[in-house]
Structure 1
């Protein structure tokens, strides 16, 4: 199952990247995350971890598996029977704004039932995150 949301933000990719990768502060701008803790100090890098608590979901530990500085990062979280992959991409627009594309992709033997049970919630959360990121970045 895959859930996607995108938006255009009136801010530079560098400004959006700074907000997006400050994972500990996500609860300040998205209602889809009630608590966020980094597993280690410093900038977000491949191998870095974060523990996210989200309403109506079990807390999950995410590990960064891919990162292109200033442009994209992907992280994964595994539970019994489901591998969840979160994608975060920034695309610079010609007018100095930024297009953000977010996605959650689930695979594994229980991905179908989990998607059926939680698909609506996950779809709302991805949309909430995109909209919250836009509002946070545009207010400076």
Structure 2
């Protein structure tokens, strides 16, 4: 099963990519992330991992499986009988960026989990997309040169 949320953000791809890959900052502006602990150091890369606590869920370790600069960041986590794959897809749209967030479920428990939690998954994707858009607007308003320059 898969869920997707696409939104047009009035900010260049370069900025949205920085917001997307500087995952340490997510708890500051994403209501879908309560805590995030990087399990490695440096720039995000294939194999990078983070322990994430999200509302109503147990902590999970997410591991980057694909990173295509300024285009795609994909990672996965495993739970008993379930694989969750999260994709952050970016594409230029005029002077802005179309961000598409995708959450896919697979494994023997995917059907049950999707039936029980599909609404929550859709809502989380909408909240996350809105969080990225708000953060981009705040960074742009502040005139910060880098997303990390903004508190």
TM range (shorter): over 0.9
Tell me which residue corresponds to 1:91.
Answer: 91
> 1:35 & 1:45 partners in 2: Cα distance?
20
Tell me which residue corresponds to 2:45.
Answer: 45
Q: Deviations over 1:60-106 (max 9, x none)?
A: 10111111012111101011100100010110112x11000001000
> 1:25 & 1:32 partners in 2: Cα distance?
12
Aligned: 1:112 with 2:117: no
Q: Which runs of 5+ in 2 are unaligned?
A: 140-151
Number of residues of Structure 1 aligned to a counterpart in Structure 2 = 139
> 2:87 & 2:23 partners in 1: Cα distance?
14
Runs of 4+ in structure 1 displaced over 6 angstroms?
none
Q: Deviations over 1:12-40 (max 9, x none)?
A: 10111111111111111111110111111
Structure 2 length normalisation: TM-score?
0.89
- Asked if 2 retains the 8 angstrom alpha-carbon contact of 1:23 and 1:37, the reply is no
Q: Secondary structure in 2 aligned to 1:135?
A: helix
Aligned: 1:21 with 2:28: no
> 1:57 & 1:2 partners in 2: Cα distance?
19
Q: Which runs of 5+ in 1 are unaligned?
A: none
Structure 1 length normalisation: TM-score?
0.96
